[in-house]
Amino acid sequence: MKKAWTFLKQLWALTAPYFKSEEKWKALSLLGVIIGLNLFLVYLTVVQNSWYRRFYDALEQRDQPAFWSEILFFSGLAAIFISVAVLQLALNLKLQINWREWLTKRYLGEWMEARSYYRLQLADYGTDNPDQRIAEDLREFVSSTLGLTLGLMNSVVSFVSFAGILWTLSGNFPLGIAGYEFQVPGSMLWVAVIYCLVGSLITHFIGRPLVSLNFRQEKVEANFRYDLVRFRENAEGVALYAGERSEQKHLLGRFGDIHDNWNAIIRRRMKLQTFVSGFNQAVVVFPFLMGVGQLFSGAIQLGGLMQIVSAFGRVQDALSWFVDAYTALASWTANIQRLTSFRAAIDRAKALSEDVIHDAADAGSTDFKVEDLALSLPDGTPLLNASFRLKAGEDALITGPSGSGKSTLFRAIAGIWPFGKGHIHMPASLPSQRVLFLPQKPYVPVGTLRAAVTYPALEGSIDDATLRRALADASLSGLVDQLDEEDNWQMRLSGGELQRLAVARALAQKPHWLFLDEATSAMDEGMERDLYAILKERLPDTTIISIGHRSSLKAFHQREINLATTGDGVSTIAAE
């Protein structure tokens, strides 16, 4: 019961926001029309039912005019049915894409907000494959929610339409139990209700493990797909290592997880199907068994019994929604759990306490002041203690052994490393003074070269002449005429060219602070020297803070800040 309540709460939390959003009138009117058309379709089946009686009467009475008039009536009915069904389908699909689009925007927004996408991968928040949750789980959620709730509504309407008929037909139909006869009003209706209730409970009991199995199936499918994409993106690395055998083994191992889970699903679905089929078969003879005593004793005629059997079938059909839709319900429940846990993980990532305080320095200060900073790894292991000042106009080189925490220090300054405590006082004039971080492996979006150089600013926000000049200055003259060309530049350019592209970004965007994390490591020393010279010439007001291992870098900076590792493995900077 508690689980059902939790499920309903989760369903409401996922469903309600769209129908309360700025799109609510569009959404609600579309939903209203779909529900109306759906009910109209149920009504048409009731009309068709009474048509059967008139049609058979006409046949029995060999009434030719009545026969043709009924054929005409049926044609009209069929035409209306087809039009309504098509319209209902089209509107249903339209609502699905509107709703999915709204949810996708919302989830993408939440995922990006406060850099949750990054935090989610820093530490384990118990959520896998966010891409799949946004791309597939949302699609599945929208279509299942509409499909299942409309199906449920049809069943309820159908139940209400036929329950009255069955109640009247059963009259005081006596129920024989253990040789005793009971006169119960609407007896057959009660029998149908109890039969379906027991059936639903047993279905739930047998099918319950399907929820977690479906949850897992989504996860292993997503793992497999993700690794295929990773393999494709690293095609060159694999090809150079000739690592195909290892990749194939790994990918088939991933597929093995899919296969194993699928086997468990097969076993569970066989059990469920055995019961569901038995339940549906038994109902064929069940009402006969209930009424046959009355028939043999002569209390009722065959026609009366047949009428009751048919009404019983309708009611049972409506009540069996849960039994018949159980597999779909199990997938839907797993889907809702995946979306709910994803949201919860995002909230947890956002709520991660930020003990590294970023604030503006004293009025008038143009420096970065790092005070009592103690950074740690996601598991809490201490990594780095630092207190120092980065002075505007004084280029600094940060050095230290590999793994000592230089990049993590940059992450903390950029505000994306949430593990640790301390103060980072930003220059008072920020954010109008812009800061740009260039990592060792630059990220380049797929698209035009113009977008690649302008990134992270939006394409079009920097004029082409500036971009061309920046490319030429960064020794990428060969690319200046290709601004309109679309490509996967990250794959196409060499490591050194990618780093030069990142330098071109800095030249075009003219930040006040430029942090270079081994951003020239893939270049030869001559090229590195030229690029630092051009950065100094073109960006005279920019302070450059670099991380690097090469001693040749010292010449381009006025100051060196060294990370010394102490005996306990924690690095320290104690320069002023």
Ligand X SMILES: Nc1ncnc2c1ncn2[C@@H]1O[C@H](COP(=O)(O)OP(=O)(O)OP(=O)(O)O)[C@@H](O)[C@H]1O
CB of 219 to ligand X, least distance (A): 21
Tell me if 66 contacts ligand X by CB under 6 A. Answer: no
CA–CA distance, 462 with 509 (Å, rounded to integer): 8
x-marked contacts with ligand X along 525-554 as a string, rule CB under 6 A: ------------------------------
Question: Checking DSSP bridges between strand 571-573 and strand 382-390, what pairing results, if any?
Answer: parallel
Q: Left, alpha or beta for 369 (phi > 0: left; psi -120 to 50: alpha)? A: beta
| Three-state secondary structure call for residue 19 | helix
DSSP assignment of 434-495 equals: -EEEE-SS----SEEHHHHHHTTSPTTSS-HHHHHHHHHHTT-GGGTT-TT-EE-HHHHS-H
Report the 3 state secondary structure along 84-138: HHHHHHHHHHHHHHHHHHHHHHHHHHHHHHHHHHHHHHHCCCCCCCHHHHHHHHH
State which of positions 120-179 bind ligand X (CB under 6 A).
122
144 vs 408 by CB, closer to ligand X? 408
Among residues 365, 407, 429, 565, the one that binds ligand X under rule CB under 6 A: 407
Tell me if 566 contacts ligand X by CB under 6 A. Answer: no
CB of 134 to ligand X, least distance (A): 22
Judged by CB under 6 A, the number of residues near ligand X is 12
Alpha helices in 127-186 (DSSP H): 130-132, 138-170
Tell me if 212 contacts ligand X by CB under 6 A. Answer: no
Tell me if 414 contacts ligand X by CB under 6 A. Answer: no
CB of 518 to ligand X, least distance (A): 6
Q: Which residue has the tokens 């201490």?
A: 382
CA–CA distance, 292 with 186 (Å, rounded to integer): 17
CB of 378 to ligand X, least distance (A): 5
Q: Where does this chain touch ligand X (CB under 6 A) — which range of 20-28, 260-268, 376-384, 427-435?
A: 376-384
CB of 572 to ligand X, least distance (A): 13
CB of 192 to ligand X, least distance (A): 59
408 vs 454 by CB, closer to ligand X? 408
562 strand-pairing partners: 399
Token code pair at residue 524? 């030869």
Q: Where does this chain touch ligand X (CB under 6 A) — which range of 21-29, 57-65, 398-406, 430-438?
A: 398-406
- H-helix or E-strand containing 420? strand 420-426
207 vs 400 by CB, closer to ligand X? 400
287 vs 400 by CB, closer to ligand X? 400
Tell me if 408 contacts ligand X by CB under 6 A. Answer: yes
Close Cβ partners of 324 (under 8 Å, ≥ 6 residues apart): 276
244 vs 355 by CB, closer to ligand X? 355
Distance of CA 81 to the CA centre of its chain: 36
| Three-state secondary structure call for residue 387 | strand
In order of 240, 318, 501, the CA distances from 192 in angstroms are 68, 10, 73
Cα torsion at 465, 468, 473, 474 (round to 10°)? Answer: 140
Tell me if 256 contacts ligand X by CB under 6 A. Answer: no
Among residues 17, 253, 278, 378, the one that binds ligand X under rule CB under 6 A: 378
Q: Where does this chain touch ligand X (CB under 6 A) — which range of 227-235, 255-263, 293-301, 396-404?
A: 396-404
165 vs 377 by CB, closer to ligand X? 377
Q: Phi and psi for 543 in degrees, rounded to 5?
A: -95, 130
CA–CA distance, 497 with 475 (Å, rounded to integer): 9
148 vs 377 by CB, closer to ligand X? 377
Tell me if 565 contacts ligand X by CB under 6 A. Answer: no
- H-helix or E-strand containing 515? strand 513-517
CB of 396 to ligand X, least distance (A): 15
Q: Which residue has the tokens 């149908």?
A: 192
Q: Where does this chain touch ligand X (CB under 6 A) — which range of 133-141, 351-359, 406-414, 453-461?
A: 406-414
Among residues 50, 64, 297, 402, the one that binds ligand X under rule CB under 6 A: 402
473 and 538 Cβ atoms separated by less than 8 Å: yes
Tell me if 403 contacts ligand X by CB under 6 A. Answer: yes
256 vs 401 by CB, closer to ligand X? 401
Burial status of residue 465 (CB atoms within 10 A of its CB: 0-12, 13-18, 19 or more): exposed
Among residues 193, 377, 392, 480, the one that binds ligand X under rule CB under 6 A: 377
CB of 569 to ligand X, least distance (A): 9
Tell me if 569 contacts ligand X by CB under 6 A. Answer: no
Token code pair at residue 327? 């597999």
State which of positions 309-348 bind ligand X (CB under 6 A).
none
Q: Where does this chain touch ligand X (CB under 6 A) — which range of 139-147, 377-385, 386-394, 495-503?
A: 377-385
State which of positions 95-124 bind ligand X (CB under 6 A).
122
Token code pair at residue 170? 């059963």
Report the Cα–Cα distance between both ends of the chain, in Å, rounded: 63
Among residues 207, 405, 418, 420, the one that binds ligand X under rule CB under 6 A: 405
CA–CA distance, 6 with 142 (Å, rounded to integer): 19
Positions that interact with ligand X (CB under 6 A)? 122, 377-378, 383, 400, 402-408
